[in-house]
Amino acid sequence: METLVGREAEIERLNALVEAARKGRGGALVLSGEPGMGKSTLLRRVAENASGFAVIQASGAEFETELPFAALHQLCVPLLGHLHELPPPHRRALEIAFGLDTGALDPFLVGVATLGLLAETARERPLLCLIDDAQWLDDASAKALAFVARRIADEPVAVVLASREPGFATVPALNLAGLRESEARVLLAGAVRAPLDERVRDRILSEARGNPLALLELPRSAGLAGMAGGFDVPAPGVIEQSFRVRLAQLPPQARLLLTVAAAEPVGDPGLLWWAAELLGIEHASAAEAAELVEFGARIRFSHPLARSAAYTAASAEERRRAHAALAEATDPVADPDRRAWHHARAAVGPDEKVAAALERSAARAQARGGVAATAAFLERAAALTPGTGPRIDRALAAAEAKLSVGAFDLAAELLTTAETASPDQAQMARIDLLRGRLSFICHRGGEQPTTHLLRAAGRLADTDPAWSVECYLDAMEMGVLLGDLDPVVRAADTAPVTGPVLEGVIRLATRGHRAAAELLRPALADETAWSRYPSLGFMLATELWSYDALRGIAERVTAAGRESGSFHMLPIGLAMQAAAAVHEGEFGAAMEMISEEEAIAEATGAAPLVYPRIHLAALRGRRAEAFELFAGVDSRMTLSVQWAAAVLHNGLGNYQAALEAARSAVAHGHLGMSGLALPELVEAAVRCGSPEVAESALADLRERTQAGGDAWGLGVAAYARALVTADEESYREAIDHLDGSRMAIYRARAHLLYGEWLRREGRRREAREHLRIAHEALTDIGAEAFAERAAGERRATGEHARSRSSQTASEQLTMQEVHIARLVADGATSKAVAATLFLSPRTVDAHLRNIFRKLGLTSRKQLRDLPDIRG
C-alpha cells in the first residue's frame, strides 16, 4: 500500500463516505486541489480501503471534452450487463448515449438512466465510483454525474471526483492544501536518500509549497546537482517542467510515441500501435518511454501532468502528425466523431472535407443530447470552412449551440465574426434573431430584445414572408413575457406581411377584443398553431377567458415535450397545465404537475417556474405561503403577484388590500394577467365603495368574456355584473353558466357571492342553501380562505358551520409527496415513480414511508381510498 504523508484527515473523510454507502446512505465528494496535491493517490487509497465494494473508474481527458458522454461511457462499461434491468426508455437513452443505438434523447434522461444503472448494480454489492481529472469531463458526462451525485442519498453508492477546481456546485468539496513543512520534510527525506545541504533543502521546501508531487518528482528529473542550483518556476509549473526534462532525455521516436499517446485519450493500445506503425515508430520505443507511460491493457500516463507535458512539449507539426495518424487509425464507422476531431486537429488550413465531417459529427452529437459537443464541432467546422457563405452559416449554427449551453460570451463573439464577414439578408436576419435571444437571456446590450427580432422580420418581409411573420410572432411572445408588447404591435401593424394570429393580436391591441375574436377564436382552437409560441397562445386564451383553449394548449405543449423528451418544452407545458388545474379547482392535480416540473428543474439545474405555485397559494388562501412566494420572485413576475395578491385578499376579506393589488395589475394592461384581475377588481371595488372603479372594470371584463364566448368567462362576468348592479338574475345567470363548465372554484365563488347578497337582503333561508353549497365545494377543493369566508356567512345566517378541524391527506404532505402518493394510488411501482421524478427507487420508498407515517397508513392499497389523493 502506497505511503501517504499528512493526509490522515482526508483519508478519514473518504473512509466515512465509503462506510456510509456500505450502510445504504450514499453520497458524493469532490477532491479539489492544484496538480500534484495527491488527488489521484487518494483515489487509489479509497479504492484499496473499499473492501466488499464493486469499484468502477473513469477519468476526464483534455482532448475528449468535446465528445458527448465519453467519460460516462468509460465509467459504465463494466455495468452494461445490467442495462436490461432498466425501464425501456432509460435503457435506450444509455444505448444512444454510448453509441450502441441511434436516435434523439435529452441529456438529463441519461442522468436518470445512469442513476438507475448504478442502483441496479448496487443491489448485488455496494458500489464505489471514482472519477479522476473531472475538470476535463465532457459537458454531457458532467451533467449526468452531477445529477447522480445529488440523487444517491438512499443508495449504497459512493462517488468521488478528483478535480483541479470544485466545479460541481451541489456536491460537497474537500480541498487539498499543501503539506505542512514538517510533513514536507518527511516526504522529501524519503525521496532523497543522499545527504542534502540544509540551505538547498529549505529552498526546495519553499519552492514546492507543500506540493507532494513536486517534492517527489524533482529529485528524479533534476538530480542533486540540479536541485543545488534551485529552480525558478513555482509548483505546479515546476512539476510539468520536471516531466519535460525527462522527456528531453528520450530518443525522438520515444518522444513522438508519447505525443501520440497523449493525443489519444481513450488509452486503446490497438489504436496507439496502429497509429505508431503509420508513423514508422518502432515498438522498442515503448521501453524507453515506460517511466512516463504504462503500456498494458490500457495506456496510462504516470500522472495527468505527464500527459500534458508530452503533448505541449511536442512541436505543432509533431502534434499534427500524431492526430493525422490517429485519424487514419480510427474506425470511420464505429467512431466517426473521434476520427473527425483528430482530422480537425491535424488540419493546417481550411478544408471543406474535414469541416463537413465535423458538421455531421455536430448533428450526431445534437441528436445524442451533447449540446456542448455540438457547439465545439460547429465552431471548429466554421474555422475550417473555405467559402464565406458556408462559413457564416456554420458560425451562426455554432453561435446558436453556444447560446444553448450558456456560453454567452463565445456566442456573442461568433455573431460579431459572422456580422463582419459580409452576410446576406437571410444571414443578417439569423444574426438579429440570435442577438435578440442573447439579449433576452442575459439582459445584455442597450436595445430591447424585441428590437432585434423586429429588425429580422423587416429584413425578411420581401424575400421570405412566412419567416418574417414567424419573427413578428416571436417578437410578440417575447414582448408578452417582458411586458412590453406595444412597440411590437406598432411595428407589426405597418408590416407588409400578415397572418391570422398576427392580425388578431394587432386587432386585440388596437381595436379591442371583439374585433380580434373572429381571428383569435379559430386560431386558439387550431391544435397545430401554438407549438412555437405556447406562451403567447396561453396568454391569448386567458385574455379571452377561453378555458378549453387554455387547457388544450397546455396539454399539447406537455404532450409534445414528453414525446420529444425536451426538458425545455415539458416544464412549460406542465406549468401551464398546473395553472389551468388551479383555476379549475383541481389542486391535487396541480400539485402533481408542479412537483414534476420542479423535479425537472432540479435535475437540469434550471429555476422552477413559480407562477403556478403563486396561483395555487393564492386560491388556496394560504397567506404565509403566498407572501413567501411573492417575496422570492423577480420583477418579471410582478403582475402575477399582483393578481395573486388580489385573489388572496378577496378570499381573506381584506378588500382594501385586494383593491390596491387588482388596480395595479389592471393598470399595467399586461396580456392575460390584467384580464384575470378584472373580476377581483370589481369585487374589491364594490366592497370598498368605489362604484366608478367597479363599473369601469366590469365594462372591460364584459368585452373580453363576450368576445371569448366561453362559459367560464360569461359566468364570471355575470357575477361581477351582479355585484355592481345588485341584479339577482345576474347571480342566477352566473351559476347557470358555471354549472356547465369545469370551473368548480368559480362556480363555488358564484354561490358564495349570491348567498352573501341574499343574506344582506334578509333572505336567510335562501342564503343558507347557496352558502352551504359554496362552503362544502370550497372546502372539498381546498380553497381555505374562501371556505372560511363562506363558513362565517353561514354562521351569520344562524346555521351551524364548523371550520375544518383536521387537515386532508394532501395538506399534510409536501407537493412531491402528494405526487408520489397519487402515482402509487394509481398503481405505479416504485421504479415507475422514480423514473417520473428522477429519483432512485429506494428514495421513492423512503418518501412512501414518510407518507404512511404522516397519514397513519400501513400499505399502498390504503392510498387508493383517500379521495383527495386518488386523482
User: Residue range 341-350: average pLDDT?
Assistant: 91
Q: Which of 2-16, 163-177, 219-233, 712-726 has the highest mean pLDDT?
A: 712-726
pTM of the predicted model as reported, rounded to 2 decimal places: 0.75
Q: What residues does each domain of the chain span? A: 8-175, 181-245, 250-329, 519-609, 610-708, 727-805, 810-865
pLDDT digits (tens, 9 = 90+) for 705-722: 999 999 999 999 999 999
pLDDT digits (tens, 9 = 90+) for 678-706: 999 999 999 999 999 999 999 999 999 99
Provide the residue type at 513 as one letter: H
Asked if the model's pLDDT at residue 19 lies above 90, the reply is yes
pLDDT band at 351 (very low <50, low <70, confident <90, very high): very high
Residue 87, φ and ψ in degrees, nearest 5: -60, 145
Burial of 669 (0-12, 13-18, 19+ CB in 10 A): middle
Kindly state the greatest CA–CA separation across the chain: 109
Query: Which residue reads 445584455 in cell numbers?
Result: 444
Asked if the model's pLDDT at residue 383 lies above 80, the reply is yes
Contacts of 446 (CB under 8 A, 6+ apart): none
User: Residue range 127-146: average pLDDT?
Assistant: 90
What's the pLDDT score for residue 701? 95
What's the pLDDT score for residue 234? 39
Query: Which residue reads 424585441 in cell numbers?
Result: 450
Asked if the model's pLDDT at residue 331 lies above 50, the reply is yes
Angle at CA of residue 625, ends 624 and 626, nearest 5°: 90
User: Residue range 162-180: average pLDDT?
Assistant: 83
Asked if the model's pLDDT at residue 523 lies above 70, the reply is yes
Contacts of 231 (CB under 8 A, 6+ apart): 207, 218, 222, 238, 241
CATH 3.40.50.300 fits 8-175, yes or no: yes
| 289 C-beta neighbours (distance < 10 Å), count | 21
- Please report, in angstroms and rounded to a whole number, the separation of the first and last CA atoms in the chain: 58
pLDDT band at 465 (very low <50, low <70, confident <90, very high): very high
The answer to whether residues 730 and 722 touch, using CB atoms and an 8 Å cutoff, is yes
Asked if the model's pLDDT at residue 236 lies above 60, the reply is no
* CA–CA dist 577, 590 (Å, integer): 7
What's the pLDDT score for residue 153? 87
What's the pLDDT score for residue 552? 92
What's the pLDDT score for residue 80? 92
* CA–CA dist 468, 629 (Å, integer): 39
Asked if the model's pLDDT at residue 805 lies above 60, the reply is no
Collapsing DSSP to helix, strand or coil, 299 comes out as: strand
CATH 2.170.120.40 fits 810-865, yes or no: no
Contacts of 373 (CB under 8 A, 6+ apart): 66, 67, 68, 138, 139, 140, 337, 361, 362, 365
What's the pLDDT score for residue 70? 86
The answer to whether residues 618 and 626 touch, using CB atoms and an 8 Å cutoff, is yes
What's the pLDDT score for residue 226? 45
What's the pLDDT score for residue 326? 94
Q: For all residues of the chain together, what is the average pLDDT?
A: 86
The answer to whether residues 524 and 541 touch, using CB atoms and an 8 Å cutoff, is yes
What's the pLDDT score for residue 305? 76
User: Residue range 9-17: average pLDDT?
Assistant: 93
User: Residue range 400-417: average pLDDT?
Assistant: 84
User: Residue range 3-12: average pLDDT?
Assistant: 83
* CA–CA dist 612, 618 (Å, integer): 10
What's the pLDDT score for residue 156? 94
Contacts of 195 (CB under 8 A, 6+ apart): none
3-state DSSP helix/strand/coil percent for the chain, to nearest 5?
A: 70, 5, 25
| 216 C-beta neighbours (distance < 10 Å), count | 19
Question: What is the share, in percent, of the chain residues with pLDDT greater than 70?
Answer: 90
The answer to whether residues 819 and 592 touch, using CB atoms and an 8 Å cutoff, is yes
What's the pLDDT score for residue 166? 78
* CA–CA dist 579, 583 (Å, integer): 7
User: Residue range 155-180: average pLDDT?
Assistant: 87
Asked if the model's pLDDT at residue 79 lies above 60, the reply is yes
What's the pLDDT score for residue 176? 87
User: Residue range 194-206: average pLDDT?
Assistant: 65
Angle at CA of residue 362, ends 360 and 368, nearest 5°: 110
The answer to whether residues 657 and 694 touch, using CB atoms and an 8 Å cutoff, is no
What's the distance, CA 674 to chain centroid? 30
Question: What is the share, in percent, of the chain residues with pLDDT greater than 90?
Answer: 45
Contacts of 503 (CB under 8 A, 6+ apart): 519
What's the pLDDT score for residue 139? 82
What's the pLDDT score for residue 127? 96
Give the start-end residues of each E strand in 143-255.
Answer: 157-163, 173-175
* CA–CA dist 525, 511 (Å, integer): 22
What's the pLDDT score for residue 235? 44
pLDDT digits (tens, 9 = 90+) for 84-125: 888 888 888 898 888 787 776 666 678 888 999 999 999 899
